[in-house]
């Protein structure tokens, strides 16, 4: 009976230590910024037609250099041919506005050892996978590859904030709702309406604040 009690006690301690270590490495956060589009309507102009974007983030810190982040961001992508001087676009006169939900999982790399007691700031870079939920006439869910650059600052043991700019490569040309078969009365019937081999991109940029989850039972070895 005593042996059974000690086995249960040790299993409980191991589970408690594991949960505590996991939470010590976890952060939850909030993001606020802008989203904008690059594609057939806006080919080169960054920060064109920025729309509000908001989201939530979760980070699991593997160590002071690496973490894995999951995020959900809601925004809008919009553009209009009339905003550009290109004669072809003036004739086409296309415009669109699409609601966006970006769901991504990325791995962040800190260029400095980012911790409370050492290097309270760091630039970072990230790469991952995700999906964009952006309803169009042809499809709704689009596979994306996100790449992110940013800067983080530690405010206290629990709080940090940062700035980031992240671009998403998609594998669709539908987000701008510009289809080759769509009718444009001002264009000659034989005139190409889209750039056939170009896919759409979009960017999410802004600020975030993160809260580190710390249990009442702290693991001093991890915090060093």
Task: Please state the rounded mean pLDDT for residues 8-36.
Answer: 66
* Spatial distance between the Cα atoms of 31 and 24, rounded to a whole number of angstroms: 21
**pLDDT exceeds cutoff 90 at 202:** yes
* Spatial distance between the Cα atoms of 189 and 211, rounded to a whole number of angstroms: 56
Which residue from 175, 166, 173 is spatially nearest to 133, judged by alpha carbons?
175
Confidence tier at 21 by pLDDT (50, 70, 90): very low
pTM: 0.80
Percentage with pLDDT > 70 across the chain: 75
Residue, of 66 and 183, whose pLDDT is higher: 66
Confidence (pLDDT) at 19? 40
Q: Give the torsion through C-alpha atoms of 123, 129, 133, 135, to 10 deg.
A: 110
Spans of all domains in the chain: 2-223
CATH domain 2-223 topology:
Porin (2.40.160)
Residue by residue, DSSP assigns the chain as -HHHHHHHHHHHHHHHHHHHHHHHTEEEEEEEEEEEEESSSSSS-TT-S-EEEEEEEEEEESSSSEEEEEEEEEEEEEEEGGGS--HHHHHH--EEEEEEEEEEEEEEEESS--SSSS-SEEEEEEEEEEEEE---SS-SEEEEEEEEEEEEEE-SSSEEEEEEEEEEEES-S-TT---TTS--TTS-TTS--S-TTPPPEEEEEEEEEEEE---SS--HHHH-
């Amino acid at each position: 009976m005593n042996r059974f009690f000690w086995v249960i006690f040790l299993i409980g301690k191991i589970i408690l230590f594991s949960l505590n270590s996991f939470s010590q490495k976890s952060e939850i956060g909030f993001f606020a910024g802008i989203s904008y589009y690059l594609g057939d309507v806006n080919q080169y102009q960054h920060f064109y037609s920025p729309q509000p974007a908001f989201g939530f983030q979760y980070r699991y810190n593997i160590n002071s250099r690496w973490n894995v982040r999951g995020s959900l961001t809601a925004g809008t992508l919009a553009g209009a041919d009339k905003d550009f001087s290109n004669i072809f676009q003036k004739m086409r006169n296309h415009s669109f506005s699409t609601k966006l939900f970006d769901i991504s999982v990325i791995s962040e790399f800190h260029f400095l050892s980012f911790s409370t007691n050492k290097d309270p700031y760091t630039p970072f870079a990230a790469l991952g996978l995700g999906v964009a939920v952006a309803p169009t006439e042809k499809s709704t869910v689009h596979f994306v590859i996100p790449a992110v650059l940013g800067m983080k600052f530690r405010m206290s043991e629990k709080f940090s904030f940062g700035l980031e700019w992240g671009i998403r490569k998609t594998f669709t040309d539908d987000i701008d709702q510009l289809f080759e078969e769509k009718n444009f009365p001002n264009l000659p019937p034989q005139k190409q309406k889209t750039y056939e081999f170009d896919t759409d991109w979009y960017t999410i940029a802004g600020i975030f604040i993160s809260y580190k989850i710390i249990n009442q039972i702290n693991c001093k070895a991890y915090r060093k």
